[in-house]
Amino acid sequence: MTVIKNGASTRTLRMPSPVASEANRSPGRDVGVDIAAAMAKVVFDDLPPATVAAAKRSLLDTISVILGASGLVDDAGILVDVVRESGGRAEATILGFGTRVPAPAAALVNGAMVHGLDYDDCYQGLALHPSGPTVPAALAMAERASGISGRELLTAIAVANDACWRIGNSFDWKQDWFHTVVVGYFTAALAAGRILKLDGAKMFDALGIAFGQAGGTGEMRLSSSAESSGPPIGGMMNGFPAKAGVFSALLAQRGMHGPPGVFEGGRGFYNVFIGGMYRREELVDGLGTTFGCDEVSFRPWPTCGGSHPAIDATLHLVRENDIPAGDIESIEAHVGHSVDWALCEPLDERRRPATSMDARFSLPFHLATAAIRRSVTLTDFTDRLADPQVLALAAKVLPIWDPSMQQYTPGVAGSHLVRIRMRDGTVYEHRTDLPYGRHPNDMSQSDLEAKFRDCAAFAKQPLTSQQAGRALEIVRDLENCADVAGLAESLSVA
C-alpha cells in the first residue's frame, strides 16, 4: 500500500479573552450609546481600503444568494404572495421577483432569502452571518430614501457588519438563541439608520426599538425531526430583523424613543439573552476607527460551512493527483466538531439526501460530488440531486469522529482530514484547517463574480448575461455611484 500525504493548510486564530466571571454591569451609560454615536459619526473616508472592499464584496455576495434563492427556495414565493396581497407604496425591490413594495416588506422578503441556500457570508469563528439582516435593510432603505450614493451604502454596510463582529466577539454562544437573528435586529437598525443619516441619539433609539422586537431561538434553525437541516423557516429568519431594522429606523427618525438600557440594563440584551457574561472591551476597543468586517468569509460552495474543510481537502486530492472517481474504494473524513458532525448523522439519510436542502447538509453527498465533479455548484443540488454515480460514491464515504482535529482549529467548525483509498491499495490524504473562502484564505474576486452569475441564472426571473454584467460594473465602481437606485434597476428584469 502506498500512502501519499499532501500536507495541510494552516490558519491563525484571533482568540477572544474570557467572559466575565460574573454578571457584567456598566456603572454609567449603556454601551449602546457609544456604539450608536460612533456608527453615526463614521464617514466613508474613515474606512480603510480593506473595509471598503469587504463591504463591497458582502454586498455583491448577498445580492447573489438572494437571486439564487428566489428561484430555488419554494417558500420564498409564500412570502412574496403575502406581501403583494398586503399592498402599499412601491418603494423598494424584491430581488429576483422584480416586485416593488414598501421598504420594510422588501427588507423582509430579501432578508428571508439570504440564508435560504446556506450560501451567505459568515464570521466563521463566531458562527454569525452578518450580511443577512444588514444588506437587505440597507438596500431597501436606500431605494426608499432615493438619492443615496454608493459611498453611503457601503458605509452603512461596513458599520453594521462591524457592529455584528463586535457583538459576536463579546460573548460565548451556547447555541441556545439563534444569535445571527437576535444580533441582526441591532445591526439591521444600524444599517437602515445610517442610510437615513440618523444622529447618535436617534440611532440609539433605533437600537432600542429594534431590541423590543428581538427574538428567535436555535429551535428555528438547529433542530428538525431528523436533527438535520432544520425547518424551512430557519433559513428565512433573517427577514424579521431586516424588516425590524427598517421599521425601527423610520420610527426613530420621527422621534420615537427606545429604552435606556438596551445592552447593559438589568433587562437588557446581555442580561436577558446572554446571562450577563460578556466582554465589554470587545464592543468599544477601536470603535469607529477599526472595522472587524474585514474578517468576513465567503462561501465558494453552496453547502453548510461545516463541510467546507472536507470539501477543500477532497478537491485538493482529486485535482492534485488526478484521481479517477471510478477507482475510489472509500473516502474517510475525520471530523472533530459537533457542528460539523451534525452533517454526518444519521449516516444512511446523509448518504441519500431526499431533498435539495437535505443535500446541503450532507457531508457524504458533498464529498462524493467534489470527487466526481471536481467542483460543487448549485446545479449539483438541483438537476443532479439523484445522480446515481454521486449516490453510489456517497455510500462509500465514512465519517470518523476524531476530536484531535480540534487541536488545529479550536472554535466553530474545525479541521478535517480526508483519506481517499483506491482499489489498488494507494491511499491519499490531506488535512485542511483553513478552507478556500474562509478568512484570510479569501475567495478571489473572479470567483465571487462567477458565483454572482451562477446565482443570477437561477433567479425567479433569471438575469441575462448583459444584465448581470451591468450589475457587476455598478458594484465594482460603487464608490463613484451617485445614486444606487441604478443597482436595483440593473437587477430587475423588464
pLDDT in tens, 240-297: 999 999 999 999 999 999 999 999 999 999 999 999 999 999 999 999 999 999 999 9
Q: What is the pLDDT of residue 241?
A: 97
pLDDT at 298 over 90: yes
Question: Distances from the Cα of 453 to the Cαs of 65, 66, 366, 377, in angstroms?
Answer: 10, 12, 22, 12
Q: What is the pLDDT of residue 64?
A: 98
pLDDT (tens digit per residue) in 136-174: 999 999 999 999 999 999 999 999 999 999 999 999 988
Q: What is the pLDDT of residue 70?
A: 96
| 341 compared with 228, residue with greater pLDDT | 341
pLDDT at 420 over 50: yes
Q: What is the pLDDT of residue 362?
A: 96
Same fold, 31-300+452-490 and 303-432: no
* Three cell numbers, residue 5: 500525504
pLDDT at 220 over 80: no
For residues 202 and 193, the answer to whether their CB atoms sit within 8 Å is: yes
For residue 93, the number of C-alpha atoms closer than 13 Å in the C-beta half-sphere is 24
Q: Where are the domains of the chain?
A: 31-300+452-490, 303-432
pLDDT at 100 over 80: yes
What superfamily in CATH does domain 31-300+452-490 come from?
2-methylcitrate dehydratase PrpD (1.10.4100.10)
**Residues of the chain above pLDDT 70, percent:** 91
Looking at 326-387, list the stretches that DSSP marks H as alpha helix, in order from N- to C-terminal side. Answer: 338-341, 347-351, 356-360, 363-373
Rounded to whole angstroms, the Cα distance separating 219 from 305 reads: 19
Q: What is the pLDDT of residue 222?
A: 57
| 383 compared with 369, residue with greater pLDDT | 369
pLDDT (tens digit per residue) in 16-51: 445 554 455 555 799 999 999 999 999 999 999 999
**Residues of the chain above pLDDT 90, percent:** 81
Mean pLDDT check: name the lowest of 2-6, 99-103, 204-208, 293-297.
2-6
| CATH 1.20.1740.10 correct for 303-432 | no
For residues 441 and 434, the answer to whether their CB atoms sit within 8 Å is: yes
| 369 compared with 28, residue with greater pLDDT | 369
The model's pTM: 0.92
For residues 268 and 262, the answer to whether their CB atoms sit within 8 Å is: yes
Q: What is the pLDDT of residue 78?
A: 93
Comparing C-alpha atoms, which of 350, 343, 277, 327 is closest to residue 427?
327
Q: What is the mean pLDDT of the chain?
A: 91
Comparing C-alpha atoms, which of 264, 161, 245 is closest to residue 198?
245
Rounded to whole angstroms, the Cα distance separating 6 from 428 reads: 8
pLDDT at 369 over 80: yes
* Three cell numbers, residue 465: 448575461
Q: How confident is the model at residue 228 (pLDDT cuts 50, 70, 90)?
A: very low
